Structure 1
Amino acid sequence: MGRNKIPRVICGKPADSCFKPNGIPMSQLEHIDLAADEFEALRLVDLQGMHQQDAAVAMGVSRQTLANLVKAARLKVADCLVNGKALMMCH
């Protein structure tokens, strides 16, 4: 059995609950969920330009956990952009 998930400090919130390609109904799109901690890691590192170590401290996680969150978030965003999927923000 794995360890319990460490609580993460999440300060930022997405502007909207989803982003999707124009002109295609949601019912016809594949959905990709972006977790709140993945969103926060992406916001701190890519938008605010924080170093991963500083962002990890701000979120209350290890640097490796932060790196894993950023990697997962970037993969999901790229998948949505390249393959025309809806990106759903989980709260």
Structure 2
Amino acid sequence: MSRPRKWRSVCSLPPNSKFGPLGSPLEEEQPVIMTVDEYETIRLIDHEGMTQQECSEQMEVARTTVQGMYDSARKKLAASLVDGKPLLIEGGEYHLHDHSGQGLGRCGRGCRWRQRMNNPEGEDQI
């Protein structure tokens, strides 16, 4: 009997979940599907500048799991860009952080929810 999969902890859902080449309908091409947890690894490692170890602690999974998700996400991004295919972010085995209370769940420095609360105009901080 196999071990049950561990849910990956994600700060928040992506603000945009559909991307594609300009000028062509997204429905015409077979899309590349990236899971929400794969997106979270790209966000934390590439956008927030975390190491794989820091990312694994925030997502509450092993570093090797993060490494596998990150590699898969990068291949999907490359396929979408190089082949001109739409990219959809959906599905995966994750749960959202609970941002209530003092501890704010396991969210760390890359918390999108906390960034939005500190920036009431709703503009992303880059």
Give the TM-score band, short-chain normalised.
over 0.9
Paired residue for 1:62? 62
Deviates most, 12-21 or 73-82: 12-21
| Equivalent residue runs for 1:1-91 within 5 Å | 1-91=1-91
Greater RCO structure (CA 8 Å; 6+ sep): 1
Q: Secondary structure at the match of 1:9?
A: strand
Contact 1:38 1:72 in 2 (8 A): yes
Question: Please, what TM-score do these two structures have when normalized by structure 2?
Answer: 0.68
Give unmatched runs, 5+ long, in structure 1. Answer: none
d(CA) in 2 for partners of 1:87 and 1:2?
A: 31
d(CA) in 1 for partners of 2:12 and 2:77?
A: 17
* Cα shift at 1:4: 1.4
Give unmatched runs, 5+ long, in structure 2. Answer: 92-126
Compare CA radii of gyration and give the structure with the larger one: 2
Q: How many equivalent pairs are there?
A: 91
Question: Please, what TM-score do these two structures have when normalized by structure 1?
Answer: 0.93
d(CA) in 1 for partners of 2:40 and 2:20?
A: 20
Runs of 4+ aligned structure 1 residues displaced above 2 Å come to none
Q: Secondary structure at the match of 1:28?
A: coil
Deviations 1:3-53 (A, max 9, x none): 211011100322212000011112211211110110111111111010110
Q: Secondary structure at the match of 1:13?
A: coil
Contact 1:12 1:43 in 2 (8 A): no
Q: Percent identity?
A: 36
More helix by share: 1
